[in-house]
Amino acid sequence: MTELADLTAVQLVDGYRKGEFSPVDAVRAALRRAEQTQPTVNAFVRLTQDSALSQAEASAERWRRGAPQGLVDGVPVSVKDLLLLRGEPTLRGSRTVRPEGKWNEDAPAVARLREHGAVFIGRTTTPEFGWKGVTDGPQSGVTRNPHDPSRTSGGSSGGSAAAVAVGAGPLSLGTDGGGSVRIPASFCGIFALKPTYGRVPLYPASPFGTLAHVGPMTRDAADAALMMEVITGPDDRDWSQLGPVAGSFRTGLDGGVRGLRVAYSPSLGGQVAVRPAVAAAVRGAVESLAAQGAYVEEADPDFSDPVEAFHTLWFSGAARVVQHLSPAQRELLDPGLREVCGQGARYSALDYLAAVDIRMDLGRRMGRFHSAYDLLVTPTLPITAFEAGVEVPKGSGHRRWTGWTPFTYPFNLTQQPAATVPCGVDGGGLPIGVQIVGARHADTVVLRAAHALYESGSATIAPPALG
């Protein structure tokens, strides 16, 4: 019999409706998994057992009355420690943030989940201010990969990815400014979606500006579609949010991919060296889409690596994050963060605007590309998880995390929806992800294609072995 901690959010809600088990049972199971794996994986900054069980009991009473509060009533959820959660400090992975304070406000996505009855079980780890593609830092230590604790979970939403992978709640809220939900989801073998920018409201505004998205990290695409129904609710604190969604994220999820025009780019036109095991697994996922009726063509988007423009925007944002800190506080920062903040502070306004020009040109090129193709499919990452506690793989020659994430950050520049779906493992049993990118506002098409991979069995990998 499947343990409650291994059920999806959709399955949990169905079980509550049928009276097969209660939210208290599910929350206790999720907390047990979190506590069991915390010493090895370190997915959480803190667990909120008492308040979670209180929320679960209230949810159970609503279900007994046949009056659930919303779409995810009683579902255990975790929240990355960059997003405000009422009643809990948001430390942002930094020793420079003091835990004292009122902490009396929810981020928009958190507020929508609370309105729908979600049960918050804890805060997940992040590197300091979410600045890099792995999850380690001076405030919360190293978050490790559930499939091999000697390896990284990825980042910056590494705690959220690890929590979902181990069964510590089927839903987690992450943020993505350069790949930060997709990178760790790929490394940990779960699903994640970076929605179109503005589709999920965000407050406070990110110092990384319009690169930063909020997105669901889940067991599968159906859970993400359910979560998107909730977290896309409007919030007047975000002036850049998009208007209401026409229809439902779940409607048409089972529509399949027949007739969709899919461009498969295995290496962005030879710009990226992809490990053979990764290339083979991604090709298998693409062949599955073709077998299900998609029109698949090998085609590369028309752009060169925009990494320098991304660095200008990203490092400038990092410099802005720490601008208010005293010299003594800066000494508390992750040394890598201090370094990129120094670089960011040296950019001029003209440098920044030149990067914006590159970004706008990239967006134009991708807009033209999607006039011919509904979806672009690439590897999520060219590698699988490397050793924990370092920013780049040893011996790789990369200086910064962007060196090994060339498939992710371009689509933060363009603000397009992009998802990662597990599509296999390498010889060491480490997960591999395939990335599905859609035109701006085509989040439902991305979810439908991802769901098709799950329905066909192409997204099935073994869960981590929990000791």
Give the 3-state secondary structure of 286-334: HHHHHHCCCEEEECCCCCCCCHHHHHHHHHHHHHHHCCCCCHHHHCCCC
Q: Which helix (H) or strand (E) holds 148?
A: strand 148-152
Residue identified by tokens 């991305």 is 446
The residue annotated as part of the active site, out of 59, 80, 157, 265, is: 80
Nearby residues of 20 by Cβ (< 8 Å), 6 or more positions away: none
- Domain holding 393, by residue range, is 4-455
* Active site (annotated) includes residue 180: yes
Cβ 303 vs Cβ 370: under 8 Å? no
Phi and psi of 219, rounded to 5°?
A: -70, -35
Phi and psi of 278, rounded to 5°?
A: -65, -45
pLDDT of residue 101: 85
CA distance 66 to 56: 15
Assign residue 359 the CATH number of its domain: 3.90.1300.10
pLDDT of residue 351: 98
Exposure of 2 by Cβ count < 10 A (0-12 exposed, 13-18 middle, 19+ buried)?
A: exposed
CA distance 320 to 136: 21
pLDDT of residue 260: 98
Domain contains 354? yes
What type of residue is 40? Answer: T
Model confidence pLDDT, tens digit, residues 321-375? 999 999 999 999 999 999 999 999 999 999 999 999 999 999 999 999 999 999 9
* Residue 170 C-alpha from the chain's centroid: 13
CA distance 416 to 436: 10
Residue identified by tokens 């609710």 is 233
Strand-pair category, 141-142 with 136-137 = antiparallel
pLDDT of residue 155: 98
* Residue 70 C-alpha from the chain's centroid: 23
Six token digits for residue 32: 């047990």
The residue annotated as part of the active site, out of 156, 157, 160, 458, is: 156
Domain contains 460? no
Domain contains 18? yes
Model confidence pLDDT, tens digit, residues 109-137? 999 999 999 999 999 999 999 999 999 99
What type of residue is 23? Answer: P
pLDDT of residue 344: 98
Domain contains 466? no
Positions of the chain with pLDDT under 70: 1
The residue annotated as part of the active site, out of 172, 180, 206, 288, is: 180
Domain contains 467? no
Domain contains 396? yes
pLDDT of residue 466: 86
Domain count, the chain: 1
* Active site (annotated) includes residue 80: yes
* Active site (annotated) includes residue 371: no
pLDDT of residue 1: 54
